[in-house]
Amino acid sequence: MAAVHGLIAGFGFGAYATIITFVLAPEVPGLIYAPLVGVCFGLGTMVMQVIFGAVFARFARLRKLSEDDVCYLGRATGGRTLYYGGMLFALVGLFILLFPAVEGLAVSTGNPIPNLDSIGIATVLVLAVVGGVGIWAMIKGLRELRAIDSGAYCHPAPTDARSPSR
pTM above 0.75, yes or no: no
Look at residues 62, 80, 106 and tell me which one is the last residue of a structural domain: 62
- The 3-state DSSP class for residue 120 equals strand
- Angle of CA points 130, 131, 137, to nearest 5°: 80
Judgement on whether residues 102 and 137 belong to the same structural domain of the protein:
yes
Please give the DSSP secondary-structure letter assigned to residue 119.
E
Range of the domain at 37: 1-62
Name the pLDDT band for 1 (thresholds 50, 70, 90): low
Judgement on whether residues 145 and 69 belong to the same structural domain of the protein:
yes
The reported pLDDT for the residue numbered 118 is: 87
Judgement on whether residues 58 and 69 belong to the same structural domain of the protein:
no
